A and B are shown apart, each in its own frame.
Chain A
Amino acid sequence: MTYEGVKNYRAELEETLKRLSEHDGVQGLVVIDKEGRVSQTTFDQQYTKKILSNISGFTSQTRNVVRDLDPMNDLSFVRVRSNKTEILIAPEEDYILVVIQQPSQD
C-alpha cells in the first residue's frame, strides 16, 4: 500500500467506526487486533480493559466450540443479549469488532 493508500484506508476506517458508534442505541465499540490488543475504542480506558480481558477469551472459546462440534465449520458472529445490553462480536481474520448496544427488538 502506498502512503496515500494507507492514509485513505485509515480515514475510511475511522469514518466507518464513527458511523457505527453514533448509530441509534450503540453504546460504543472496540476493535481488538489479532495480537489481542485494543486498536480502536470509544469507551473509557477502564471499561475497555474489562472488555478486552473478557471478550477475547470468550470469542476464542466460542470459536473452539463451533470447531469442536464440526471441524469443517467456523464461527461467523456472536450475539450476547442481556437485560441491559447486547454485545455483538464480529470475529474476522485480522481483528475482532465488538459493539455494545441497547438490546435490539428482535
Chain B
Amino acid sequence: MGEPEKPTTVSITNQVEQILRRIGTNSKVEGVVVINNEGIPIKSTLDSTSTVQYSAEISQLADRAKCLVRDLDPTNKLTFVRIASKKHEILVAPDIDYIMIVLQKTKKQGSAED
C-alpha cells in the first residue's frame, strides 16, 4: 500500500567522478567498471562489449564469494576479492549499492609498488 518503491539509483557525484578518475590515471590500471547491485554497469572505462562481459561475470562471482565467506562464518562479511591471472589482476570491491571492478596489470608487469 502507499507509494510504489523508488528504484535504488547510485548517482555519480563529482567526488565519485574524481575518485574514479584518480584510480583510472594510475599507470597500472587498464580499466574501471562500476556496477549497481543489479549487475548493471553504471560507469566504465572499457569498451561496451568488455563492460557487459565483466559486469555479468564479476557480479555473479562476487555473489558467490559473498556466500563463500558467510558459509564459512555467518558473522563474517566479504570486503574484497583479488583475482590474479597470467595477464592481469581483477580487483573487486563490493558494497551495499554497487560493486567496483578494477582491471590492472599484474605486479610483474607494473613498475614500482603502489
A79 — which chain B residues lie within 8 A by C-beta?
Answer: 80-82, 84
Residue of B nearest to A64 (CB): B57
A65 pairs with B61, CB closer than 8 A: yes
Does B83 count as interface, using CB distance less than 8 angstroms? yes
Those of A45-96 within 8 Å (CB) of chain B: 47, 50-51, 54-55, 57-58, 61-62, 65-66, 68-70, 72-85, 87
B57 — which chain A residues lie within 8 A by C-beta?
Answer: 65, 68-69
Query: Looking at chain A, what size class is its interface with the partner chain?
Result: 20 to 34
From known contacts A54-B72, A65-B57, infer whether A82 and B83 are also in contact, taking CB-CB under 8 Å.
no
Residue of A nearest to B54 (CB): A69
A78 pairs with B54, CB closer than 8 A: no
Query: Looking at chain B, what size class is its interface with the partner chain?
Result: 20 to 34
Interface of chain A: mostly helix, strand, loop or mixed: mixed
Among B60, B65, B75, which residue has the most Cβ atoms of chain A within 10 A?
B65
B76 pairs with A73, CB closer than 8 A: no
From known contacts A73-B85, A74-B86, infer whether A83 and B77 are also in contact, taking CB-CB under 8 Å.
yes
Bound state CA distance, A68 and B53, in angstroms?
9
Does B78 count as interface, using CB distance less than 8 angstroms? yes
B68 pairs with A75, CB closer than 8 A: no
Residues of chain A whose beta carbon lies under 8 Å from any beta carbon of chain B: 47, 50-51, 54-55, 57-58, 61-62, 65-66, 68-70, 72-85, 87, 103
Residues of chain B whose beta carbon lies under 8 Å from any beta carbon of chain A: 53-54, 57-58, 60-61, 64-65, 67-69, 71-73, 75-88
